[in-house]
Amino acid sequence: MKVHRPTQAAGAAVVSAQKNEPGLGHFWTRQDGLRLVLVAEPDTENNSVDASLFCIDEFGTGLFKFQTATFDSPAEVAEVMAKGPFQWIRGDADQTRKNLAVGLRILDAIGKEAPEGVAEFKEYLGPGARLSLPPSIYLCPVCDAALPPEIVNAIREAAQNGADSYMACQRCTSRRQLGAKRLNYVMPAHHRLKSAFRESDTFTLTPNGWDILERAIPLDSLEEAVGLLLTQDVMKGMLYTIERFIADATIPNPQLNDSHIVAALEHLKHALEQNQELKAVDPFEVNFVLEALDEGMALVKQIFREEVETEPDPMLLLNAVEMVLASVRRRSARQPNKREYIQFICNYV
Q: Is the pTM of this model over 0.95?
A: no
Higher per-residue pLDDT: 61 or 166: 61
Residues 220 and 99 in one domain: no
Q: Of 64, 92, 125, at which residue does a domain stop?
A: 125
Residues 105 and 220 in one domain: no
Mean pLDDT across the chain = 86
Euclidean distance between CA atoms 48 and 42, whole angstroms = 6
With a cut of 60, say whether residue 217 has pLDDT above it: yes
Q: Of 125, 143, 175, at which residue does a domain stop?
A: 125
Q: Of 125, 141, 172, at which residue does a domain stop?
A: 125
Q: What whole-number percentage of the chain has pLDDT above 90?
A: 56
Q: Which amino acid is at 231?
A: T
Residues 239-278 pLDDT 10s? 989 999 999 899 889 889 999 999 999 999 999 999 999 9
Question: Is the residue at 326 inside a domain?
Answer: yes
How confident is the model at residue 81, as a pLDDT?
93
H-state helical runs in the chain: 8-20, 74-83, 93-110, 118-125, 149-160, 170-174, 182-199, 222-232, 234-250, 258-274, 284-303, 314-334, 340-345
Question: Is the residue at 277 inside a domain?
Answer: yes
Integer CA distances (angstroms), 91 to 97, 99, 295, in order: 10, 10, 42
Euclidean distance between CA atoms 58 and 81, whole angstroms = 21
Integer CA distances (angstroms), 55 to 67, 205, 334, in order: 9, 10, 31
Euclidean distance between CA atoms 165 and 194, whole angstroms = 13
Residues 178-206 pLDDT 10s? 344 455 667 788 889 999 999 999 999 99
Asked if 59 contacts 33 with a C-beta cutoff of 8 angstroms, the reply is yes
**Host domain of residue 65:** 8-125
Residues 5-39 pLDDT 10s? 443 333 444 444 555 788 899 999 998 889 999 99
Higher per-residue pLDDT: 321 or 130: 321
Residues 120 and 219 in one domain: no
Euclidean distance between CA atoms 251 and 189, whole angstroms = 8
Residue 300, number of CB atoms within 10 A of its CB: 23
How confident is the model at residue 9, as a pLDDT?
36
Residues 333 and 217 in one domain: yes
CA dihedral (6, 9, 15, 17) positive or negative: negative
Asked if 328 contacts 244 with a C-beta cutoff of 8 angstroms, the reply is no
Question: Is the residue at 241 inside a domain?
Answer: yes
Question: Is the residue at 323 inside a domain?
Answer: yes
Measured at the CA of 172, the angle between CA 330 and CA 86, to 5 degrees, comes to: 45
Determine the average pLDDT of the residues in 149-167: 89
Residues 308-321 pLDDT 10s? 778 888 899 999 99
DSSP at 304: I
Question: Is the residue at 134 inside a domain?
Answer: no
Measured at the CA of 59, the angle between CA 56 and CA 65, to 5 degrees, comes to: 20
How confident is the model at residue 128, as a pLDDT?
81
Residues 119 and 217 in one domain: no
Higher per-residue pLDDT: 216 or 251: 251
Give the chain's domain count.
2
